[in-house]
Amino acid sequence: MHYKSRLKHHSQNSYRLRSGCLALIPVAALLASCGSGSAPVANRIAVHGNGAAAIITANPFRLQIRSGAEESPVLSEVANTEPAPSRLPRTTDPIPPGIPAQHSAQLYAPLSFLVGSETITQKSNPIWLGDLKQGVESGIQYSARKVIAERQTRRGVILTLSTNDPSGRTLRVDIRPANGNLIHVSVTPQPAAGVVMMSDSFDSPPGEAFYGFGGRHNALNQHGNALVNWVSEENVPGLGQPGTPSGVLYPNGPTAAYYPQAQFISSAGYGFLLDQPQLSWFRMDSDHASEWSVAVSAASLNYYVAPDTPARAIADITAISGRQPAPPSWGLGPMLDREVKNFGDTSTLYDAQMEQDIANIKRYHLPLTAYRIEGFGFGTPNDNGFILPTRGTFAAQQHVVSQLLALGIHPLAYIRPWVAPGSAPDREGLTVKNASGKTYVTTGTLGQKIALLDFTNPAAVRWWGAELDKIFNMGFDGFEQDFGEEVMVGMHFYNGQAGATMHNEYDVLYMLATRDAMEAYEHSHPGRTLWFDNRAGFSGTPGSAAYEAANFPGDEATNWGQASGLASLTEDMLSRAIGGAYGYGTDIGGYSSYTTPCTTKRLFLRWAEWAVLSPVFRLHGAGGCGLHTPWSYDLQTVQVYDALSSLHEAAAPLILKLWQEADKTGIPPTRPLWLEFPGDPQAAAQTEEWALGEDVLVAPVVTEGATSASVYFPVGCWQDPQTGLTETGPKNAIVSAPLTNLPYFFRCGTHPF
């Protein structure tokens, strides 16, 4: 499907819906017929899909979702006590410098809405351009009362609800089955004028766990936390007020994410997807111990519920939110990046470093399937209008490309959607505008003036595709696709939307444009297989995962920390994996060295060990310190890294097989233990282990100075293929883990790789 068709499909949310059966009846007399027309409002209204049902109490209104033939609901709106209108005083959320408030004054009632005002302020600092700085809301909160009218449709029911808004405002609620096992709920106030936020609130049983939400670093289970869904630029540890600990992310706090997903899986037996790109909040039992809520800065509310076991709910949600397509086999081999230092690099130095890399790759026989030139350039005076970190000379770049191809190594480039103001693509109207229709000029991370390419403009998409073709024609088989977090609320797009709607949506269209350009090139060049990775993304129907090849998690800090260092990786990888983003590829050794020391040998090796049984094994470098190659330490580091590269090559066929299965089932290659071993509370508590498929248990060391590891072994027999050590679970055990060893285990009697 080419870009225009996909974009139309995406913008219209035209998903395939299997037929459902609707009954408008008291529960005591459920009817088994389907039809259309109208009927008096019943005390209970039931909407049935193939594996899900919505049960609506008419007066007072309350929605409950149940699975298949189950009598008890797995998700219920909070009881409708018909609360009076609630005044929301001037409330700040997020709180400067951009941290979500952990407690709110939100009205917990079925389908509440705020009539009043909201102001969103973003960071304009180049490093955090586009990040939330502050939100201010105020007004009156109203909520649903009862069903006053209903209309059957072929797919579900459309209800009119009265509210306690004295203006007489009503709510139009469309409830229907979707894809058989989902219930889709869409709510619009009538009239919508004046409504700045909508929310819904649900009961939460004791101990309910909430998993997912995209690339969050702070936890696997977000119970008790408030989370904002807003694509965020680099968050670094140790900044902010004097005394801020290095474990705290600045400026947006511990739950900030380059790659948020407004979707999650509950241990109570359902999955949830908020299908809206605007700023939104999840408050997961953070305001009240037994209630969670979702709120969105919009005059509408649109969500899906998948009532089923966690594994089936993951399958149902990712079937509409998207699953990263399996890459070419070489996209799972060891990779090396010649990164760009943000300060101090020259063309002469960069050219020499590339040639030295080639020499060392040959000298040490380093297993490698791809090498990326971050200092890539088009060989034109202005890089065809792009603003890129071009470092080397074009002649040296292309000489390295020819050497890589001769070695059987795939060359990779670097690209981002930054356009120079006044350049040809800007003059042709391909960039995002301000309210007056002029180019919206903002600032890049190093202070350069930039404009953003407008991926809602078909002409801009065609131009982007033509530029990617030029990269492929130079011999490159892909690239790192960077940035995408910089959309400001004051921006205006070709499709008529403003930045408040497009901030998160931008990355979905950015990935869609690239995926279509790559597929078109592959189609016209048989035998070429292409690959790219990106850092920013968002959910939707589908979200960016449907179009991506892999992700790098953002600018990880060169330390051991939970904020964004080595200890942050497992929770990030596993949280986004259950949302369909399977291709996690950390920057081995970390990238951001501006508030942390340069990568030590010990950190480098532990990081490489962590990455070796993750999907993408990619050595990057630090923006301040430069590339930390194995040969930049000592011979032992080279030998260990070489062995790890070979181990990853051995595991790659298994990873590819699991990824191909994931594209059908939604179950990721890298699995949190709570998913692979359901019903085991000790497994659910593990945040630094994962299962690679059914038969591999991975337990990397992420603690500085550790020479042993406490490993939880789930039920069954597990054997270390390196030492022969055998453990039978469920149990905890201390295992030896010297610096040169990664603790990993095979299920006894299996040989996965």
The predicted structure's pLDDT at residue 10: 57
Q: Which residue has the tokens 């299997």?
A: 18
The predicted structure's pLDDT at residue 27: 35
**What does the pLDDT average to over 247-255?**
87
Distance, in Å, from the CA atom of 521 to the CA atom of 472, rounded to the nearest integer, reads 8
Residue 623 confidence class, pLDDT cut points 50, 70, 90? confident
Write out the two tokens for 480.
Answer: 């790192």
Calculate the alpha carbon distances from 36 to 24, 29, 153, 188, 738 in Å.
11, 19, 5, 22, 69
724: left (phi over 0), alpha (psi -120 to 50) or beta: left
Q: At what angle do helices 3-12 and 499-524 cross, to 10 degrees?
A: 150
Write out the two tokens for 76.
Answer: 């219920």
- pTM score of the predicted model: 0.95
Distance, in Å, from the CA atom of 609 to the CA atom of 368, rounded to the nearest integer, reads 16
**What does the pLDDT average to over 580-598?**
94
**What does the pLDDT average to over 257-266?**
98
pLDDT digit string (tens) for 189-213? 999 999 999 999 999 999 999 999 9
Neighbours of 39 (CB within 10 A): 13
Cis peptide preceding 94, ω within 30 of 0: yes
The predicted structure's pLDDT at residue 71: 83
The predicted structure's pLDDT at residue 70: 79
Q: Which residue has the tokens 């380059």?
A: 258
pLDDT digit string (tens) for 326-347? 999 999 999 999 999 988 889 9
**What does the pLDDT average to over 680-685?**
98
pLDDT of 470 higher than 60: yes
Which residues, including other chains, have CB under 8 Å from residue 86's CB and lie 6 or more apart? 105, 107, 140, 141
pLDDT digit string (tens) for 349-400? 999 999 999 999 999 999 999 999 999 999 999 999 999 999 999 999 999 9
Amino acid at 372: R
**What does the pLDDT average to over 499-519?**
98
Distance, in Å, from the CA atom of 100 to the CA atom of 85, rounded to the nearest integer, reads 25
Distance, in Å, from the CA atom of 753 to the CA atom of 751, rounded to the nearest integer, reads 6
| Alpha helices in 561-711, H assignment, sequence order | 569-577, 601-612, 635-665, 673-676, 681-684
| Pairing, β 618-619 against β 170-178 | unpaired
pLDDT digit string (tens) for 5-55? 555 555 544 333 333 443 433 333 333 333 334 456 778 999 999 999 999
Q: Is the distance from CB of 161 to CB of 171 less than 8 angstroms?
A: yes
HEC assignment per residue over 280-300: EEEEEEEEECCEEEEEECCCC
pLDDT digit string (tens) for 698-743? 999 999 999 999 999 999 999 999 999 999 999 999 999 999 999 9
Residue 239 confidence class, pLDDT cut points 50, 70, 90? confident
Residue 125 confidence class, pLDDT cut points 50, 70, 90? confident
